[in-house]
Structure 1
Amino acid sequence: MEKFSKLKELIAGVEADVEKFYNSGNGAAGTRVRKAMQDLKGLAQEIRTEVTEKKNTK
């Protein structure tokens, strides 16, 4: 559950950069968005693995 909370925080943190990139065309914000998406991908994979392990132990 802790990792899921971290995932939500990461999404909330990148929201301003997403708006800057799509609405204002700010290229630096796009770079930050791409990095955040890569971090999200890794965290989502960790959560997915954790869920699978927990499901298989029951």
Structure 2
Amino acid sequence: MRGLGCTPGPCLSCPLAVPSQLAQKYDPQKEAELRTWIESVTGQQIGPDFQKGLKDGVILCE
């Protein structure tokens, strides 16, 4: 890890730590609330994968 510029201990800026930190913060209940709201406002289904369904931004532009 030293090659990436990280010091021993938790490193909040290490590229390898970011996915783990994001997974810890992810709230499935908030996803369900947002899915319901977005689908009711746009009239479009996001699909089974919430993040992939919103990634291109098309639904959010509706």
Normalising by structure 2, report the TM-score. 0.27
Which structure exhibits the higher relative contact order, with contacts defined as CA atoms closer than 8 Å and separated by 6 or more residues? 1
Choose between structure 1 and 2: higher helix proportion: 1
- Tell me the TM-score normalised to structure 1 length: 0.29
